[in-house]
Structure 1
Amino acid sequence: MNPSLYLVGSAADLPRRRTGLWVFMGVVGMLFFLFSSAYVMRMAMPDWRPLPFVPPQLWLSTALLIGASVAWHLAWRAAHAHAAAASRLAYGAAGVCSLAFLASQLWAWRAMEAAGLTLDAGPANGFFYLITSVHGLHVIGGLVAAAWARPRPGRDSATMQLCARYWHFLLGLWLAVFALLFGVTPELVNQMCGGGS
């Protein structure tokens, strides 16, 4: 599924585009919910070893995705105000931050591999690579849509608004993934499920 189907189009079909984007984000959200459920259930197995550290590159990734989300919001506000130069500048910043986010993710993978935390080193590692790669694919899909949504004369500001909404979603998803991978422990799950009482 490609978000570009829902992000670009004419102002006349805006309600359809908005609905399509919400449905798409709902499907993606459910996909990550299922990944998260499998991750939490897998923690109950005796061979589970949590990831021993947070690669510092992931903090950079987080900051870059926040920057992309803010830049998309600014691009939408500028397009809505018919400030073409500001919209193009924010659009460019959003693209740069998004590409840098993907580069930072690859850098984090390299750091994990250098520390011996390869894909096959344990279940937690496999989930880390799976979940971060699927999130990265959704960022790439958003960038493809963003290429079609670039600011140009006659482009409605709703296109920028939909892009901003998608990037806000990607940021929220990333923060949830980050918390899942590095904040949820078997002990916490056991306490939440009443096993600690």
Structure 2
Amino acid sequence: MESVQQYKVDKEPQATLAMDPMKFILWLFLVSIIMLFASQCSAYLVRRAEGNWLEFEMPKIFWYSTGVLLMSSAAMQWAFFSAKKDQFKQLKVAISITFVLGLAFLWMQFEGWKELVAMNVYFVGNPSGSFFYVFTGLHGFHIISGLIVLLYSLTAAFKLKVHAKNLRRIQICATYWHFLDLLWLYLFVFLLTFN
């Protein structure tokens, strides 16, 4: 009888590693975005090596938009820290600033496209221009999705659903937004280096 009880104690289930399903979905989504842009960068380098490649100077507004996106990332981090400390007023202000800077980034990207057109760099034509529009357009699309996530978090913050004991929304939002910022930095350096 003792040996049976001892056996039962020894065979208790071990704790399993668990991950929040929403965070898991986010990480899968981020990996898919990385794969998408990795394939585009690879195609860019292969096509560039074939020749018939128009070289053009990147409009300065893309430099400024990069600074705006970095500021938005700082504001997002401020929002996260404010949520951890239950500083609701700062949280609302920080998320609002992040949202406005995200909109400003999109507007600046659009203005950059207008400058490219003025330089006779079009979506249809030389592959270098096509790739530039595809890279910036795909990233812009993801920024729009990031703004939707931000809006969701902003609404939750105003309803006081984001606080020190409920950081899930703000963590997902911050992770996605910082990822988009890092992705843009990578694309920006890539396009500067290989244009």
Aligned residue number for residue 25 of structure 2: 20
1:154 aligns with 2:161: yes
Q: Name which one, 1 or 2, has greater alpha-carbon Rg.
A: 2
Q: Is 1:172 aligned to 2:188, yes or no?
A: no
Aligned position for 1:115? 119
Q: Residue in 1 aligned with 2:77? A: 73
TM-score norm. by structure 2 comes to 0.84
**SS in structure 1 at match of 2:124:** helix
Aligned counterparts of 1:16 and 1:132: Cα–Cα separation in 2: 30
CA distance in 2, matches of 1:14, 1:96: 32
CA distance in 2, matches of 1:114, 1:94: 30
Does residue 94 (structure 1) correspond to residue 98 (structure 2)? The answer is: yes
Which of 83, 90, 103 is the matching residue for 2:87? 83
> What is the CA-CA distance between 1:120 and the residue it aligns to?
2.2
Q: CA deviation at 1:88?
A: 0.3
Q: CA deviation at 1:14?
A: 7.1
* Residue-by-residue CA offset, 1:134-193 (whole Å, 9 max, x unaligned): 0000000111122111113133223112211111111111011111212126xxxxxxxx
Look up the SS of the partner of 1:118 in the other structure: coil
Say how many residue pairs are matched.
172
1:56 offset after TM fit, Å? 0.6
The CA deviation string for residues 6-40 of structure 1, in whole angstroms up to 9 with x for no partner, is xxxxxxx9711111111110000110000000001
Q: Secondary structure at the match of 1:149?
A: helix
CA contact (8 A) 1:68 1:97 kept: yes
Unaligned runs of 5+ in 2: 1-17
1:58-106 CA-partner distances (Å, limit 9, x unpaired):
0111011101111111101101110000000000100010000000000
In 2, distance between residues paired with 1:168 and 1:148? 16
Q: Distance in 1 between matches of 2:64 and 2:51?
A: 33
AA at the equivalent of 2:172: L
CA distance in 2, matches of 1:135, 1:99: 13
**2: CA distance between counterparts of 1:184 and 1:75?**
35
Q: Percentage identity across aligned positions? A: 31
For 2:129 and 2:161, the matched residues in 1 are separated by: 47
Relative contact order: is structure 1 or structure 2 higher (C-alpha 8 Å, sep ≥ 6)? 1
Unpaired segments ≥5 residues, structure 1? 1-12, 186-197
SS of match in other structure, 2:20: helix
Give every structure 1 segment of 4 or more consecutive aligned residues whose post-TM-superposition deviation is greater than 2 Å.
154-158
Opposite residue 176 of structure 1, the aligned amino acid is Y
Give the Cα–Cα distance (whole angstroms) in 1 for the partners of residues 33 and 146 of structure 2.
13
Match of 1:62?
66
Aligned residue identity for 1:123: P
Residue number in structure 1 paired with 2:194 = 184
In the TM superposition, what are the counterparts of 1:46-61 in structure 2 within 5 Å?
46-50=51-55, 52-61=56-65
Letter in 2 for 1:165: T
Aligned residue number for residue 6 of structure 1: none
Which whole-Å CA distance do the structure 2 matches of 1:71 and 1:154 have between them? Answer: 19
Structure 1 length as normaliser, TM-score?
A: 0.83
Q: Which residue of 2 aligns with 1:8?
A: none
